[in-house]
Structure 1
């Protein structure tokens, strides 16, 4: 994949896929073969990348990839990928996507002629493989935690739709989680700043991207109006309960819990950057494409200009807060031999405080009590982390509790949209819960080496 010829080869594969779309897709108005407009762009990009072996060819190839990708999103590639226009079109679209990804990776790698200087030279091939597995696992866990674990959609129990969802939600949630973590770790920020960045991402998702925060009936989900009306604020056009559920839910399930578990899989790397220049670019491109596919959906246009402007201001304020806290962090190293709670104790307390909000009604009283439970858990974690004995395993225990609660409660209801049989529904619940259990076991297992645990210690001010 990383050879000089893989970039042009990927572009040629994507070109063949576009030719296939012209054959199996709708015919031209005159009845002849319809030539997709992206075909000449890809062919020119492939030729440039093939003959111009330096940076110029790579840049021209990446331009071709970007233009065709944006055009494909506007042409409804998402519906093609899940088979709305039939299996032949879906196959051609998937071939196109694979070709574009291969081309982007190879051409981007050509631009980066040297490896990242910080933290990678001493790890060797085994460390690189471990980091790649960590990143891949995080992408999967973000998609599972954000959407699939709750099992509320019509993709529940459908292997084909689940496979697409893992890729799509990995880009929509996993890619920004990686980017936020990368920013925080490179700047030396701790979890307080990282959580504010996650809050900014969650606010952007609910208020700017899918705009479900302002929707009166998003996607036809059962019970939407009933959850929205009791805490509706007419002057703001949103529900207090939905705002809490969506934003806090994204912070915990889409970003924070998966990142905490993924970092705990290899504690020695928990405070180090994971992405190089190419990985950062690929994550950013994946996020932009996935977000664009949502934004261009007419269902995701519920917000008024004023609502969108205010939401953008909130996102900016959260990012500014993250920067201020990160810059003003107090340097206070973990104290050797300090005593703190065991990871299992943190897990039990977190399970209780995570479960209570899920059992409350969507009223103002329920909202207030839910907020109090979340604040109580936050205070508990903050105080416990200041003991100096707090490690990434403890942080992972908090994330595990939330994921377990969501996965277990998913057994108690059927999807809120679509008609799903009991067998596939419960099989889906079991598989998703097993993914969480395995991820948690790897994160929480006790290491034989004290060094691994010591490297995962976090300063009290930057800790959880």
Structure 2
């Protein structure tokens, strides 16, 4: 073992030791740490805070086992262990830095975090030295990957879901950074899993529903919160569930957060997997951390004092798991084509259907309630929206005979949902200009892409790969 590698091993052991010390201090001085956190966040449940502190040694124990295993592999000269150390050092530094900046622990414990950061910074420098890199030369991996396509999807998902509808005002554009991990990581993970298991559009849509349950239900708690976004006033609540908000968002996430961004990227880069196994795992970890990020950022600021009942959280988690299982098992055969409509008709139909679906349930122009909210009468537009979504899906499947038709359906839906954003979300002149620009770019880019593809009926088999 060379001196450079020995330095890396020493810093790994030092990092682990400081982590163990920090965990032990939170246990020994449990009362003082809990009092500090309660003083900072009096609205939080003290039992939940206490449970978090008591369970902290568990992940530290897991990390300790992983550290020992990685260190042994590193000493043995395993190249994968070297890559894992590089990843762990950066992720660990970011995690500790977040805890330090958020001031979740008293000042004397933050001093320990400063030591953690110093050790991790030294580890990052040591493990990236040329002498260490030369000791672990990269071994070419014959398995294909497309990081450019993966990166494009990571960016496309939050832009389509949040920006192109106008959910995020222009003066708060920086907020989209908080949504990139969950949207981008989630869309990428779902795409890789569905394509590896031979699924198509139906499977993407089901996975999108599961995604919506996780983001809206478990991360934002918006499906059950009586206060967040005024969703409780959209329609009568059922068993503590914001019915109208749940309907519109589960459909919206399935279509615009997951399926359309994936299909748009695949029109350019194809339907083959973009990542290797390690990349898929990383995408899953990023999505999970992204869910945790918006959980600690959005609800405390937008909905202080509300915590989802444990039973509701369990039901939503079980429902999400059930939908994932269904998405992995369901296989939808080719649709019977009963009419080959012109491409503009397909685009116009999806645009109108999208606008109408959102208009039935979503509030207009800064209003806190949808246009059709009148007590129990609001159940009628909800039923109409559900029928419209089903009929649109059934019809489009039978109209889409070529990749060009499928692209037209996506472009039309995007144009329709941005048009609704112009009426429903543009509160300022700057927001209006932004959404007009998005609409023009969407239509212009869509028309250009459709013309470039031309009449590609010979590629109709490519549509079946998406079904």
Choose which of 216, 226, 231 in structure 1 pairs with 2:233: 226
SS in 2 for 1:303: coil
Choose which of 375, 383, 389 in structure 1 pairs with 2:390: 375
> In the alignment, which residue of structure 1 is the partner of 2:258?
255
CA gap of 1:207–1:452, structure 2 versus 1, over 3 A, is: farther
Alignment of 1:7-18 (within 5 A): none
> In the alignment, which residue of structure 2 is the partner of 1:325?
330
2:152 is the alignment partner of 1:137: yes
Whole-angstrom CA distance in 1 between matches of 2:329 and 2:402: 24
- Rg larger in 1 or in 2? 2
Asked if the contact 2:402/2:456 (under 8 Å) is kept, the reply is: no
Alignment of 1:99-110 (within 5 A): none
Whole-angstrom CA distance in 1 between matches of 2:256 and 2:383: 20
Deviations 1:280-337 (A, max 9, x none): 24422322222111223453753211101110111111112112214xx55x6999xx
CA gap of 1:453–1:174, structure 2 versus 1, over 3 A, is: farther
Asked if the contact 1:257/1:398 (under 8 Å) is kept, the reply is: no
Alignment of 1:86-235 (within 5 A): 113-117=139-143, 120=144, 131-153=146-168, 156-158=169-171, 161-162=172-173, 164-218=174-228, 221=229, 223-227=230-234, 230-233=235-238
Deviations 1:316-373 (A, max 9, x none): 11112112214xx55x6999xx973333221122122222223322410110001111
Whole-angstrom CA distance in 1 between matches of 2:357 and 2:290: 30
Shift of 1:421: 4.6
Asked if the contact 1:411/1:429 (under 8 Å) is kept, the reply is: yes
Alignment of 1:28-47 (within 5 A): none
2:434 is the alignment partner of 1:428: yes
SS in 1 for 2:226: coil
SS in 1 for 2:170: coil
Shift of 1:380: 0.6
Alignment of 1:411-426 (within 5 A): 411-413=422-424, 421-422=428-429, 424-426=430-432
Whole-angstrom CA distance in 2 between matches of 1:410 and 1:380: 25
CA gap of 1:414–1:449, structure 2 versus 1, over 3 A, is: closer
CA gap of 1:247–1:364, structure 2 versus 1, over 3 A, is: same
CA gap of 1:258–1:378, structure 2 versus 1, over 3 A, is: same
> In the alignment, which residue of structure 2 is the partner of 1:456?
462
> In the alignment, which residue of structure 2 is the partner of 1:244?
247
2:89 is the alignment partner of 1:64: yes
CA gap of 1:283–1:435, structure 2 versus 1, over 3 A, is: farther
Structure 2: gaps (5+ residues): 12-62, 104-120, 361-371
Alignment of 1:302-313 (within 5 A): 302-313=307-318
> In the alignment, which residue of structure 1 is the partner of 2:406?
395
Asked if the contact 2:399/2:405 (under 8 Å) is kept, the reply is: no
Deviations 1:179-198 (A, max 9, x none): 11111111111211221111
Shift of 1:376: 0.6
Shift of 1:224: 4.0
Whole-angstrom CA distance in 2 between matches of 1:366 and 1:206: 22
CA gap of 1:111–1:404, structure 2 versus 1, over 3 A, is: farther
Asked if the contact 1:171/1:290 (under 8 Å) is kept, the reply is: yes
Whole-angstrom CA distance in 2 between matches of 1:53 and 1:316: 36
Q: Which has the higher contact order (CA 8 A, sep 6+)?
A: 1
Whole-angstrom CA distance in 1 between matches of 2:211 and 2:454: 37
CA gap of 1:225–1:133, structure 2 versus 1, over 3 A, is: same
Whole-angstrom CA distance in 2 between matches of 1:215 and 1:248: 19
> In the alignment, which residue of structure 2 is the partner of 1:85?
none
Whole-angstrom CA distance in 2 between matches of 1:64 and 1:346: 50
Q: TM-score, normalised by structure 2?
A: 0.66
Whole-angstrom CA distance in 1 between matches of 2:138 and 2:387: 48
CA gap of 1:263–1:306, structure 2 versus 1, over 3 A, is: same
SS in 2 for 1:202: helix
Deviations 1:212-263 (A, max 9, x none): 1111222xx4x54532xx3211xx2112101101211111121112112222
Asked if the contact 1:112/1:278 (under 8 Å) is kept, the reply is: no
What do you get for the CA RMSD once the two structures are aligned? Answer: 4.1
> In the alignment, which residue of structure 1 is the partner of 2:352?
352
Whole-angstrom CA distance in 2 between matches of 1:438 and 1:278: 37
